[in-house]
């Protein structure tokens, strides 16, 4: 039976998948929701060396030390960068990749390159603290940026968001094993707004999968539409 590994996006943590994970576990599935180094409950580990490679290694190490095989590896937003790198390193452990309204990088591309319209203002609003350039500083109303409108969800999310090291967004994806990551089956779960407003090339990548789902909701679909996301993930698992 497939195991789910759910990777969060920028400024978030494994906590953001609580609603989805609860539903997947109720269906009898094993679920891991790692928090990437320097974020969420691991914010105390923040340091100047954290970059995309660090976060790829976080997930590779989880899968290796837990002995996970037949993994459905899910990435939200920036998490699409991470899971593509993980798939490059340990393709043999992965059954399928699932991109949740996520980045779809190729080798040599960074999130800064893929989404300049979002990343340029994000960096402009950053701050450097103890020699670490940090972006996505939480502010009141930030949950709205992620498409969250329910007051309870807004309060819950904003209490947990943390700043994110810029190096993660600026570092290009480094592939070590050719096209290994791109030979794996992949599913896309896109938000309608993202599809409608993406440039043509980005939209083509958002639909470049063996399966494509669409949900008319905000960017943090695992919080706003957990039932729909969990149902789609269970369909992927079979």
Chain Cα centroid distance, residue 72: 13
Residue 237 contacts residue 28 (beta carbons within 8 Å) = no
DSSP letter, residue 75: E
d(CA 180, CA 169): 22
d(CA 137, CA 199): 27
d(CA 213, CA 187): 8
d(CA 215, CA 212): 10
Catalytic residue (choose from 3, 35, 77, 224): 77
Residue 168 contacts residue 52 (beta carbons within 8 Å) = yes
Spatial CB neighbours of 135, under 8 Å, sequence gap ≥ 6: 10, 122, 123, 125, 126, 163, 164, 165, 166, 169
**Does 77 qualify as catalytic in the annotation?**
yes
198 exposure class (CB count in 10 Å sphere: 0-12, 13-18, 19+): middle
Quickly tell me which residue has 């943090």 as its tokens: 220
CA distances from 81 to 22, 88, 169 (A): 25, 11, 9
Exposure on the CB side of residue 149, measured as CA atoms within 13 A: 4
Which residues are known to be catalytic?
77
């Amino acid at each position: 039976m497939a195991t789910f590994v759910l990777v969060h996006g920028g400024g978030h943590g494994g906590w953001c998948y609580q609603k989805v994970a609860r539903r997947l576990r109720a269906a009898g599935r094993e679920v891991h929701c790692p928090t990437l180094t320097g974020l969420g409950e691991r914010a105390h580990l923040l340091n100047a060396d954290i970059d995309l490679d660090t976060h790829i290694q976080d997930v590779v190490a989880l899968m290796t030390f837990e002995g996970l095989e037949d993994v459905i590896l899910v990435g939200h937003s920036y998490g699409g960068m991470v899971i593509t790198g993980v798939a490059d390193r340990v393709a043999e452990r992965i059954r399928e990749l699932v991109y949740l309204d996520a980045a779809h990088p190729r080798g040599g591309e960074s999130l800064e390159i893929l989404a300049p319209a979002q990343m340029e203002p994000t960096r402009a609003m950053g701050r450097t603290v103890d020699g670490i350039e940090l972006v996505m500083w939480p502010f009141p109303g930030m949950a709205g940026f992620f498409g969250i409108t329910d007051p309870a969800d807004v309060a819950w999310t904003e209490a947990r968001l943390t700043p994110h090291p810029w190096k993660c967004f600026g570092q290009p994806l480094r592939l070590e094993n050719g096209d290994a990551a791109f030979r794996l089956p992949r599913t896309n779960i896109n938000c309608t707004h993202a599809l409608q407003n993406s440039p043509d090339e980005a939209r083509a990548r958002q639909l470049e999968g063996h399966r494509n789902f669409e949900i008319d909701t905000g960017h943090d679909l695992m919080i706003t539409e957990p039932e729909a996301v969990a149902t789609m993930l269970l369909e992927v698992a079979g």
